[in-house]
Structure 1
Amino acid sequence: MKRVVITGQGAINSLGHTAVATMEAMREGRCGIGALHFRDVERLSIKIGGQVTNFDPESLFNRQQIALYDRYTQFTLIATKEAMEQSGIVFDGELAHRSGVILGTAGGGMNTQDENYRSVYEEGKNRVHPFVVPKLMNNAATSHVSIEYNIMGPSFTVATACASSNHAMGQAFNMIRCGMADAMLTGGSESMLCFGGVKAWEGLRVMSRDACRPFSANRNGMVQGEGAAVFVFEEYEHARARGAEILAEVVGFAMTSDASDIVMPSKHGAARAISGALKDAKLAPSQVGYINAHGTGTAANDKTECAAVSAVFGTAADDLMISSTKSMHGHLIGGTGAVELLACIMALRDGIIAPTIGYEQEDPECALDVVPNVAREADVNHVLSNAFAFGGLNAVLALKRI
């Protein structure tokens, strides 16, 4: 089995337009959640989110590209460019054939759908732009990354709701590990912050009107976010041979299905995914210093996740730090695990644990060290990243310092 390392990272979200800016905001415990700004927002009950601000696509893409790129694809390409520049990898010759792209998204081109539904149903138009289908399809971002960087190997999109990015990165990890590929671009992207996207989530009655407060007893729901994060996963010897800087090593992955309820999370399904990732990485619970939690800020998710972690870690949970960066950037749905992997890499490389901000009241059902409100310096060698999706689909990644 090959070793798999990360040699590049890029991001854009409500905390910043780069991975560097995002990690700086995480260190500072800055909140990127604020008032939403888009058409008809006044008709919504929920008017806050982790929206990407000061974003001007016209300054980054030409008219032809904008006609083809939904906002989620734009985010993906911005994050990919940063990751590629940091990695320094070039996909040509045999490497182009032995590399791929696997990205996660839940909604794909939601902004394109929203705009064109309006055009047909509200404005009564009988025609839409000829590029609507290639713009809104879930594989659009994957395909454009493949085209932009000459990547000709295994490429596809994963759509498993809130676990999409972790599933995508787990598949990329496995492809390199088994020798099917030498390098993969992987991560996820989402842009559901439009009228239809928020209105649909309102119907679930799981949204907060004021803030995301994971693990706090007075939490009252999740807050949507948007953005992307993309990483270069690479076979260890290949990265060493070209002198690449290695950010972290991916050492384990597991995925499970609750097979129980379409929206209510299961402690047992989550616990099996966590223990599976530990087993795959050949780690004892006591070796893990930090978990980036799924931590949505809903009553059901937070207590279920804490129960699952406690069940797997036992007494080792006393020395474990667990935090949710969704408190800062919101829930990016299909892109969330990718942005949250930045916090894991920061913990390993910089020794900084991102905080759970907005924490106000202790909850006995979430009695773990949730790193409340202020980032913490800590020496950790192994971390986990949790993702537990609607539909009962769970995906957990394990990383180590290198």
Structure 2
Amino acid sequence: MKLNRVVVTGMGAISPFGSGVEALSDGMFSNKSGITNLGEKWKEQIADMLCEVGGVITEDLNEKRIPRDLRKNMGRTSILACLAAEEAVNMAGLNKELFLSGDYGVVFASTTGSSQSIYDFAARLKEEKSLSSIKSGQFFQVMSHTTAANIACYFNIKGRVISPNSACASSGQAIGLAYETIKYGLQKGMICGGAEELHVTTTATFDLLQAASFHYNDRPDETPRPFDRDRDGTVCGEGAGAIVLESEEEALKRGAKIYGEIVGFVTFSSGEHMTRVTEEDLIKGMERLFQESGFAPEEVDYINAHGTGTVLGDSEESKAIESFFKSRSLNPYVSSLKGHIGHTLGASASLELIVCLKMMEKGRLIPTKNLLNPDENCGDLNYLMDFVDFKPNLIMKNSFAFGGINTILLLRRYSYGQK
């Protein structure tokens, strides 16, 4: 069987820095914080919440540009997904003929359907004890595969539609599954990624798990603090990241610009604990990644860590990286991007992979924001604490989720004729 090279031809993003890939890139490379205090609004709904900060999108997204007959079936999560996908599709130069061919599909996901729509549905049903005022489209806003289904309808896509809703690993799995689908010739191209809306109940969930930051409520730009000794938990954010993947053959045939190449993917389960992934699990996952991809750990220049700012999670991930790479006398650069925009959950892997592509393009690596004093209980790594001018050729991207669902991607700088 012929195996296809899988390349990136389009990107789309909506983040706490605003609408568009350039807004995301500008915010990151300017080392800005997209985190603000939302306590006044949130306390009206949940009085005893500890965390009051989040990465929220304040920009007017002009949602009404989406036709009403489609928009009525979309909650905020799907609106973010469709707008990001639109930017990616336009960048890639995809057209209706390709979508109608059945050769192009969608792999898109989120943690849940629209949190606000779920909240509204439950509140109205409890108050009125009747379905009479609930519109039928609200179900399509809250169903688990709402992002993938709405993107498919938005572009009239006839190919495969897959929605691997796996919390913080959602878009990591989406990109990886799209990569495998194209690699093995089952589709010529895929729109892939993830989306998430920020709602008080989302942050409340992390509060319940004692995993949300709250000591910096009065200084929101100082949290989260991945790998820092003074970190106190994660900060939830919202956004959407969409990536168009195509076979190299199709991209070259269309004359599309190629921004990078996915060359490896692994997804694996911890299978032991709902909120913890162990150092041993992560080491085994990395071993599998390099065994299956054919690349060597020595080739990795930079690791984009999951690094959410939780005490245990950062420790386990960093120690696994140290054990795996330093045992081979390797010391690649490491940073997390969540100090800038928070943890965008289902959107995180796709948004962060887009930033990785921009780092490749610019030849400049972004540090972990708010990392001032690496925790001695974290791994001894080559943490980026300032910008470094460096052109990475191979990037490893980690994404881990509750339920013990984990993904790792390999992103390579594209070169024609490279094996």
Q: TM-score, normalised by structure 2?
A: 0.91
Which residue, out of 99, 102, 107, partners 1:102? 107
Q: What is the deviation of 1:278?
A: 2.4
Q: Which residue of 1 aligns with 2:348?
A: 336
Q: Which residue of 1 aligns with 2:403?
A: 391
Q: Between Structure 1 and Structure 2, how many residues are aligned?
A: 400
- The question of whether the paired residues in 2 share the 8 Å contact of 1:167 and 1:255 is answered with yes
SS of 1:7's partner is: strand
Report the CA distance between 1:310 and its aligned residue.
1.5
What is the correspondence of 1:3-402 to structure 2 with a 5 Å cutoff? 3-36=5-38, 40-42=42-44, 43=47, 44-92=49-97, 96-122=101-127, 126-127=131-132, 128-191=134-197, 193-209=198-214, 210=216, 211-314=223-326, 318-364=330-376, 365-372=378-385, 374-402=386-414
Kept in 1, the 8 Å contact 2:99–2:159? The answer is no
Structure 1 stretch 349-358 or stretch 290-299: which is displaced more?
A: 349-358
Cα deviation for residue 332 of structure 1 reads: 1.2
> Partners of 2:169 and 2:113 in 1: how far apart?
14
Q: Distance in 2 between matches of 1:360 and 1:232?
A: 36
| Identity value in percent | 29
Unaligned stretches of 5+ in structure 2? 217-222, 415-419
Q: CA deviation at 1:129?
A: 1.8
CA distance in 2: counterparts of 1:94 and 1:135, whole angstroms: 23
CA contact (8 A) 2:269 2:404 kept: yes
What is the alpha-carbon distance in structure 2 between the residues aligned to residue 290 and residue 248 of structure 1? 15
Residue 370 of structure 1: how far off its partner (Å):
2.0
Tell me, yes or no, if the aligned pair for 2:226 and 2:310 is still in contact at 8 Å.
Answer: yes
1:39 Cα deviation from its structure 2 partner: 5.1
1:54 partner amino acid: E
CA distance in 2, matches of 1:150, 1:68: 15
**Shift of residue 125 of structure 1?**
5.9
Q: How far apart in 1 are the matches of 2:108 and 2:235?
A: 22
Shift of 1:23: 1.3
Deviations 1:289-332 (A, max 9, x none): 11110001011111111111112212557531111111111111
Listed one character per residue, the Cα deviations across residues 82-137 of structure 1 (whole Å, up to 9, x for unaligned) are 10111102242687311110012111211100122222235666532221111111
**Contact 1:15–1:328 (8 Å) recurs in 2:** no
Q: Report the Cα distance in structure 2 between the residues aligned to 1:369 and 1:22, rounded to whole angstroms.
A: 25
Instruction: Give the TM-score taking structure 1 as reference length.
Output: 0.94
Q: Which amino acid aligns with 2:309?
A: G
Superposed displacement of residue 60, structure 1: 3.3
SS of alignment partner, residue 97 of structure 1 = coil
CA distance, structure 2, for counterparts of residue 158 and residue 317 of structure 1: 36
Q: Does the 8 Å contact 2:99/2:158 carry over to 1?
A: no
1:165 alignment partner, SS class: helix
Partner SS, residue 398 of structure 1: strand
